[in-house]
């Protein structure tokens, strides 16, 4: 069964990008997520619709990649730093700061290119708002994750 995952808020006035994803049955009957050409199995079904997916090569090849999905936003751990990376509208965001129950994320290219795009989420991962604009092309693909 093929679905489209929306990686933006439905509350925004601008159109959002969609990334095609497939959910297929695995060998054991549990569903698999195929995203950007990689296969993931659901490890944890967490509160409020949040799900954690592990790379299917985790046990055999030791791949540590995982995806966390939550109502239109997904999070990936950075292999370089170990901290979380937010992927939103085909752009990477780093954690800038945390305040009370919120996390402020800034575009990866803030320092290098002066990009002022930022996203705010709750610590549980719920989308709050997006501000600013990118002054560069999209900076995320499955091939440049660690850049």
CATH number at residue 74: 2.20.25.240
Q: Which domain holds residue 43?
A: 2-131
Residue 111's pLDDT is 92
- Does a structural domain hold residue 75? yes
pLDDT in tens, 123-142: 777 788 999 999 999 887 65
- Indicate the range of 17-21, 111-115, 116-120, 124-128 predicted with least confidence: 17-21
Q: Which residue has the higher pLDDT, 8 or 20?
A: 20
Global pTM? 0.51
pLDDT in tens, 31-89: 777 776 777 887 877 666 677 788 888 778 778 777 777 665 555 555 555 567 788 88
- Does a structural domain hold residue 140? no
In the sheet that holds 18-25, the strands lie side by side as 2-6, 18-25, 31-35, 38-45, 51-55, 66-70, 73-77, 84-88, 91-99, 102-107, 118-122, 127-131
Residue 131's pLDDT is 94
């Amino acid at each position: 069964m093929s679905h489209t995952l929306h990686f933006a808020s439905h509350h925004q006035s601008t159109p959002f990008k969609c990334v095609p994803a497939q959910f297929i049955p695995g060998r054991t009957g549990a569903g698999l997520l195929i995203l950007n050409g990689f296969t993931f199995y659901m490890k944890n079904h967490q509160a409020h619709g949040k799900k954690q997916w592990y790379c299917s090569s985790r046990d055999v090849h030791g791949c540590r990649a995982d995806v966390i999905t939550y109502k239109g936003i997904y999070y990936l751990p950075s292999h370089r730093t170990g901290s979380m990376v937010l992927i939103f509208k085909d752009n990477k965001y780093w954690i800038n700061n945390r305040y009370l129950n919120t996390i402020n994320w800034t575009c990866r290219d803030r320092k290098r290119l002066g990009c002022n795009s930022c996203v705010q989420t709750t610590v549980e991962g719920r989308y709050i708002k997006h501000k600013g604009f990118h002054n560069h092309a999209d900076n995320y693909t499955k091939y440049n994750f660690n850049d």
